[in-house]
Structure 1
Amino acid sequence: MATIGTFTKTENGYNGSIETLSLKANKVSLVPAEKSGDKGPDYRVKSGNAEIGAAWAQTSKKGGKPYLSVKIDDPSFVAAIYANLVEQDGKHALIWSR
C-alpha cells in the first residue's frame, strides 16, 4: 500500500493533492455529488475545473470505520486508479494498493 495523496476535511468535502510517478495534482477537491440513485457516487473528484473521478462512502468491515472508495481516471491513464481515503491522525490519506 502506498499513500498517493493527502487531504483535509472541509465544510464542503475534502481538499488536498495527489502525487504519483505520472500524476501530480496540487489542487484536488472531493465535492458532494447530487445522488442519482443508490449506486451513484457520494462525491465528485475534481482537479481545477476538470472532473477526474468519483468517490463512494463506505464502512470498513473491521472496526466499522468510515472511509471513501475513490476512482480516479484520465484519458492519459492506462487504467483507472482505485484508492481509499482514510482518516489517519486527524488528516486524510489517499491509500492505493494493487
Structure 2
Amino acid sequence: MATIGTFTRNQDGTFQGSIRTLTLNTKVRFVPTGVAESDKAPDLRAYAGNNGIEFGAAWTKRTKDGARVYHSVKLDDPSFPNPIYASLVETADANTFSLVWSR
C-alpha cells in the first residue's frame, strides 16, 4: 500500500488536499453529501481541482475492532484504465489524513 494523498479536515466536515501518483497530480476536496438517499449512498463526494469535477465518492467505515473510523474511497474517471480504490485514514497528527491506495 502506498500513500497517494494528504488531506486536512475543515470545521465544516470537508477534507482538502491533493493526490499525487505517476499519472495524477490534482487538488481534491471531499465534501459531505448530507442526508443519505439510501444505506449504500456515499457519505462524501470527491471533487477535483478548482472546477469542481466530481470524480469519486467515499463511505464511512469502522475497523474490524470498531476502534477507528476511516473512509473507503473510490475514484474514477474516463481517463483511468481502472477505478482507484483507497482508504482515507487519520494519521498521528491531529486533523491530518492520508489517502492510502490499495489494489
| TM-score above 0.5 | yes
TM-score tier (shorter)? over 0.9
What number of residue pairs does the alignment pair up? 97
Runs of 4+ in 1 over 3 A off after TM superposition: none
RMSD of aligned residue pairs (Cα, Å): 1.1
| Partner Cα distance (1:14, 1:97) in 2 | 20
Aligned pair partner of 1:81 in 77, 80, 84: 84
Residue in 2 that maps onto 1:92: 97
How many Å apart are 1:63 and its aligned residue? 5.4
Amino acid at match of 1:69: S
CA deviation after TM superposition for structure 1 residue 62, in Å:
3.6
The alpha-carbon deviation at position 11 of structure 1 amounts to: 1.8
Which of the two has greater strand per residue? 1
**Partner in structure 2 of residue 56 of structure 1:** 59
TM-score by length of 1: 0.93
Q: TM-score, normalised by structure 2?
A: 0.89
Distance 1:19 1:39 in 2: 28
Q: Is 1:67 aligned to 2:80, yes or no?
A: no
- What is the identity percentage for the equivalent residue pairs of Structure 1 and Structure 2? 51
Deviation, 1:36, is 1.0
Q: Map of 1:19-30 to 2, 5 A cutoff?
A: 19-25=20-26, 27-30=27-30
